[in-house]
Structure 1
Amino acid sequence: MEKGENKMTNKTIDKKNALKLMGVLIVMLIVGYGLDIGVGVVAATAGISAPFIVYSLALYIPMIAIAFLYLRKKGDNLWKECGFNKIKVSTFFLTILLTVVAYPMVMFTNVFSQLFTKNTMAQATDAMIGDTPVLYMIAMAILAPVCEEILLRGFFHNRLKKFVPFTAAAILSGFWFGVFHLNINQFCYAWVLGIIFAYVNRASGSIFTSMTMHFVVNSFGGVMLYIQNAFYKSQGKEFAEVAESARSDSKQMITLIIVTGILSGGSFFLTRIIIKAIAKREGNDVEAVNDSAA
């Protein structure tokens, strides 16, 4: 992604290359999750418990390797493709503000999805933390944001937008970001976040903005899950059971959906304003955040 990227108009859709790229991503997912599952099988056979970070490394390393080799074959460079460009200090703080402002949309999609499925993270927290909370936080707050942004925004989105209009690329990269999590609950809010990540990166001209947002979201979520899990354990309760009990309370769920839905309306407009401010700070076309790529 280059600084000062101009708005694309009258873009010709290259379906063939877009589908090929999605095919490559699917292969990456199969290989990555195949090795991830393989680690679980080996650990179970050996009667040991592997830390969450080991599973994360088994997932990300082969996927990034495939992306690297694919781009190398095409004569491109993964680092340049990702757009590791410097951002201003003011942009960094605006990105933090953007994360806070956009969060109600994450909350709404998270709660709404729980009408149909369990709170996946609550169900898996105890297993992920295990006896290594520090490694859990490193995997959640550092490894995941860096690796997933390289894969989904740096590699996939930045290449896909060469074949389809930016808006379509943002929606599709968000969709595959959701698929990447392999459950309906996370799929819903990851899709929303993925779209926002694509737009903020175009505004800033750098992948560092989406990495920053991803870091804040995962850090906050990881810490809150750890605290809640520890608290309920101290009360002799299981966090997963408490979360499922809350989900079964229809009155509480409807209230949460209404409240977060209202907040999401304001969140959407404020998100657009801040993304435009980031584009202006970085000297990029403010209109680059508009949904007008043809």
Structure 2
Amino acid sequence: MEQAKSAGRIYLATVLMTLAGALINRLIYKGTGNYLLILIISQLLLIIPSVFYLVKQRKGLAETIGFRSISVGSIVLVIIFAYLIMPLMGLINAISMLFVNNDTTQVISNLVGKNGFLVSLVMVALVPCLMEESVYRGVLFQSYRQTSTLKGIFLSGFLFGLIHQNFNQFSYAFVMGVVFALVIEATGSILSTMIIHFIINSSSVMSLALQSRINGLAGTEAILDSAQKVDLGTTIIYMIPIAAISTLLAFFVFRVLADNSGRWEHVKSIFKERTKTHFLTPSLIIGMAICLIIMIIVEYQGRFSTGISKDEGFVTVIYGIIHGVQNFFF
């Protein structure tokens, strides 16, 4: 229980750091309009509570965040797994965009357009894969799994989704967090999820960089109007079978990865856990509540700024899905 209390305090401190960062970054953006500087500050603030925890613990990285070497064969399987799981993440992202706003693509597009591909790759892919993994699959998950691995998997994924503080990113970040924690259990090392995280984020950067070259920056805007939502509904219908097949293949790769690491039996045992441990502490509840409040505020601000009402969004969703089904089958 003490580990859960410590993890809850770290999460609350991290959330409070994001609030401080939001205020600082707003001033920076007004003064410079530079997303690069904002990303640097955000990532540094994100890691501060965990760094203090690591210093206080005085333990090695292998014990505190699960950083261990993995075989070359496992690295190859991890890379394959990363590409196979991306269609599922893309599908979840697309579905969430039917209901909530998505400003992430616009931010990354701005970063790529103003700072170039290599700088964007470092800031959007390399830095987050090290920082975010160290915090969420490292400090937090490793703390929770000592009491209950299964609950730790879902709770760390949920917290990872919440910290993004918008409903769009929460949807796929939650699933991603759960998948990543399972991969750590299959390999025994956070290095595996750092690789996957880097591949997923770098793919987004490369895609947007290519779009920017073809269409110009204006062509990568992520704020959708009603007509675009209809097109999105059609796209989702096409994405479903692709995501289903790739996810099934990803599971087989996951199984081989766990076997290759000698941990398949361990992975299976996780789902047989029967513990009554409760991880909810006052610090954790406050941290989660703050994130949820921010998510609601951000979403409604986005709706008002785009002029899309709740009813209009619902109607275009239904029409878009029907239109997509018709196109797919006929």
Note if contact 2:105-2:221 (Cα within 8 Å) is conserved in structure 1.
yes
Match of 2:251 in 1: 272
Separation in structure 2 between the aligned mates of residue 180 and residue 84 of structure 1, nearest angstrom: 22
Which of 107, 115, 118 is the equivalent residue of 2:101?
118
Please name the residue that 2:112 is paired with.
Answer: 129
Alignment pair present for 1:48 and 2:32:
yes
Contact 2:62 2:68 in 1 (8 A): no
- Counterparts of 1:215-294 in structure 2 under 5 Å? 215-233=198-216, 237-240=218-221, 244-245=224-225, 248-289=227-268, 291-294=271-274
Of the candidates 175, 200, 222, which is equivalent to residue 192 of structure 1?
175
- Structure 2-normalised TM-score? 0.74
Report Cα offsets for 1:145-181 as digits up to 9, x if no partner: 1111111101111111123x22221111111211222
Deviation at 1:197, TM superposition (A): 0.7
Partner Cα distance (1:42, 1:94) in 2: 41
1:84 to 67, 85, 93: 67
Instruction: Name the CA distance, whole Å, in 2 between partners of 1:121 and 1:206.
Output: 29
Displacement of 1:192 in angstroms is 1.1
CA contact (8 A) 1:68 1:78 kept: no
Q: Cα distance 1:79–1:42, how it changes in 2: closer, same or farther (>3 A)?
A: farther
State which of 131, 139, 150 in structure 2 corresponds to 1:155. Answer: 139
Which of 123, 128, 150 aligns to 1:144? It is 128
In the superposition, relative to structure 1, how do residues 157 and 151 fare at CA in structure 2: closer, same or farther (>3 Å)? same
Aligned counterparts of 2:10 and 2:74: Cα–Cα separation in 1: 33
Q: Residue 130 of structure 1: CA displacement? A: 4.6
Deviates more, 1:127-136 or 1:177-186: 127-136
Q: Identity of counterpart residues, as a percentage?
A: 23
Sort the Cα spacing of 1:34 and 1:79 in 2 relative to 1 into closer, same or farther, 3 A. farther
In the other structure, the counterpart of 1:67 is 50
Gaps of 5+ in 2: 275-330
Amino acid at match of 2:166: N
Give the CA RMSD over aligned residues: 2.5
Distance 1:122 1:214 in 2: 17
Cα separation, 2, equivalents of 1:187 and 1:43: 24
CA-CA distance at 1:205 after TM superposition: 0.8
1:106-164 per-position Cα deviation (integer Å, ceiling 9, x unaligned): 0110111011123322332343335212322210121111111111101111111123x
SS of residue paired to 2:221: helix
**Counterpart of 1:11?**
none
Q: Distance in 1 between matches of 2:42 and 2:261?
A: 34
Three-state SS of the structure 2 residue aligned to 1:131 is: helix
Q: Does the aligned pair in 2 maintain the 1:171–1:195 contact within 8 Å?
A: yes
Indicate the residue corresponding to 2:9 in structure 1.
Answer: 23
CA distance in 1, matches of 2:219, 2:139: 39
Report how many residues are paired. Answer: 272
Unaligned 5+ segments in structure 1 are 1-13
